Structure 1
Amino acid sequence: MNKISNKKNSKKKVPNNIHSPHKCLEVLGNEVRISIIQLLMKEELTVLEICKKLNKEQSLISHSLKQLRECSFVDYKKQGKQNVYYLKSKIFHDKNKTLIEMFIEHSNKYCKNKK
């Protein structure tokens, strides 16, 4: 018997806590993704707004946002037909912490730690 997959159900939601801190550091090791985080530190934006501000293709921005979501750096909310992206962790807004301190705090909260 053949199982027919339902396209609506085949799109998987990005789960929380799926990556190790090492993987999340790799995600941050990309200029486009860092630029997205810097933009989202200032305001919430749609994919198209991010594309315009960074002068990049939508496919690149969408892929980068997916990777940032997988590590719980960003999330989105629906506004009409659009997804509006924002920084999930307020940790990145603390100007009194170094980047390493911010990442360690984020990692402890959202990443899978191997022991």
Structure 2
Amino acid sequence: MEKAREEEIELLKCVGNEIRYRILRLLEENEKYVTEIIESLNEEQTLISHHLWRLHKCGLVEKEKKGRKSYYKITDPSVHEFIEKVKELSQKNC
């Protein structure tokens, strides 16, 4: 069997964190301002900012400025497909 590529492992680590996955699930609905994400997840601003940075570094979300506020959105429709597949597999196998 072919050895897993380092990039694949890093991507799985990125989405394997509970808070980052919850952020992706929120962004699945539509783009959100950072303050909306913080309020929805009821977590500290610094923690959410760190996880948003990681998701951005992994290429899963993009940040855009609107005035003084930053909002985030999922970068690619395949991320939505991935989340749907995770939900489907978890219902079948867990």
Aligned length: 80
Pairwise CA distance, 1:94: 3.5
Which of 65, 68, 76 aligns to 2:63? It is 76
Matched with 2:78 is: 91
**Root mean square deviation, CA, Å:** 1.7
Structure 1 segments, 4+ long, off by >3 Å, are none
TM-score normalised to the size of structure 2? 0.77
Structure with larger Rg:
1
How many percent of aligned residue pairs carry the same amino acid?
35
Is the 8 Å Cα contact of residues 60 and 79 (structure 2) preserved in structure 1? Answer: no
Q: Equivalent residues in 2 for 1:1-115 (5 A)?
A: 20-94=7-81, 98-99=85-86
Please, which runs of 5 or more residues in structure 2 have no aligned partner? 1-5, 87-94
Query: What per-residue deviation string (whole Å, max 9, x for no partner) do you get for residues 79-98 of structure 1?
Result: 11111100011113338x63
CA distance in structure 2 between the aligned counterparts of 1:50 and 1:90, rounded to whole angstroms? 20
- Relative contact order, higher structure (CA 8 A, sep 6+): 1
TM-score normalised to the size of structure 1? 0.64
Pairwise CA distance, 1:48: 1.0
Report the 3-state secondary structure (helix = DSSP H, G, I; strand = E; otherwise coil) of the residue aligned with 1:86: strand
Amino acid at match of 1:23: E
